[in-house]
């Protein structure tokens, strides 16, 4: 997966566990496309300090995902949901086989006990 | 929500962030229905120590959910999934209205950006 997409997911799930400054730097760098130099200038710190803060924040986020695996599960569920959506796709009516398959996947998703 | 169910969900999502002992006590108490006294005896500690460890673990888990809200989102998504499953329910074929509603909910779920 693309690093920016992965960081966005990580930040979206676990961002509130970072310090305020870590959150701000991640947002500026990954969501608002600021350069290290620009963030450094805005915050009156060195480019290296921005780099280190970002690296540390990235490690913290990756570490939460390694422990909890919630993004992994989320992406897996999303794939299954997308399959259900495809089975029911407009404009035709689903065949009874497609309907049965969709019901089966939904059942499977409902039986999972976490996100 | 029932406290045991809520603790099970909390533990299921965030349990890996607890210490080994906290995890063990939560499992014995909430999943295996041991009493505080039984856990205390098995571990050679006081009943009060078991109580304190459990309380602390519960607070840690609740704190993660307060910050991240992932269980909340999970339960909301699950409700929506259950609604899709009801709309497609056996043994009748869904009406075109039901199908349209199911598609709408699936679309909504697929557009959410996290678990």
ipTM computed for the complex: 0.86
Terminal Cα-to-Cα distance of chain B (whole angstroms): 20
Phi, psi dihedral angles at B34 (to 5 degrees): -70, 150
CB environment B28-64: b (16+ within 10 A), e (fewer): bbbeeebebeebbeeeeeeeeebeebbeebbeebeeb
Chain B residues with CB under 8 Å of a chain A CB are 9, 12-14, 16-17, 64, 67-68, 70-71, 73-74, 77-78, 81-82, 84-85, 88-90, 93-94, 96, 99, 102-103, 106-107, 109-110, 113-115
At residue B115 the predicted structure's pLDDT band, cuts being 50, 70 and 90, is very low
Of B9, B67, B107, the CB nearest to A85: B107
Cβ proximity of B12 and B2 under 8 Å: no
B28: DSSP letter: I
pLDDT at A114: 54
pLDDT at B112: 82
pLDDT at A115: 44
Terminal Cα-to-Cα distance of chain A (whole angstroms): 20
At residue B114 the predicted structure's pLDDT band, cuts being 50, 70 and 90, is low
Q: Mark yes or no for CB contact A99/B96 under 8 Å.
A: no
Predicted confidence (pLDDT) per residue in B34-86, tens digit: 999 999 999 999 999 999 999 999 999 999 999 999 999 999 999 999 999 99
The nearest CA of chain A is from the CA of B115 a distance in Å of 5
Phi, psi dihedral angles at A35 (to 5 degrees): -85, 165
Phi, psi dihedral angles at B71 (to 5 degrees): -70, -40
Predicted confidence (pLDDT) per residue in A72-86, tens digit: 999 999 999 999 999
Burial label, B115 (beta-carbon count in 10 A; 0-12, 13-18, 19+): buried
B19: helix, coil or strand? Answer: coil
Between the alpha carbon of residue A25 and those of residues A31, A32, A34, A113, the distances in Å are 10, 10, 9, 34
């Amino acid at each position: 997966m693309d690093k920016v997409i992965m960081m966005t997911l990580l930040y979206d799930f676990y961002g509130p566990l970072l310090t305020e400054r870590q959150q701000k730097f991640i947002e500026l760098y990954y969501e608002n496309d600021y350069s290290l130099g620009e963030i450094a200038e805005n915050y009156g710190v060195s480019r290296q300090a921005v780099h280190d803060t970002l690296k540390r924040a990235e490690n913290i986020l990756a570490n939460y995902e390694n422990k909890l695996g919630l993004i992994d599960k989320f992406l897996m569920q999303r794939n299954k949901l997308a399959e259900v959506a495809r089975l029911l796709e407009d404009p035709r009516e689903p065949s009874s086989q497609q309907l049965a398959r969709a019901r089966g996947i939904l059942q499977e998703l409902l039986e999972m006990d976490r996100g």
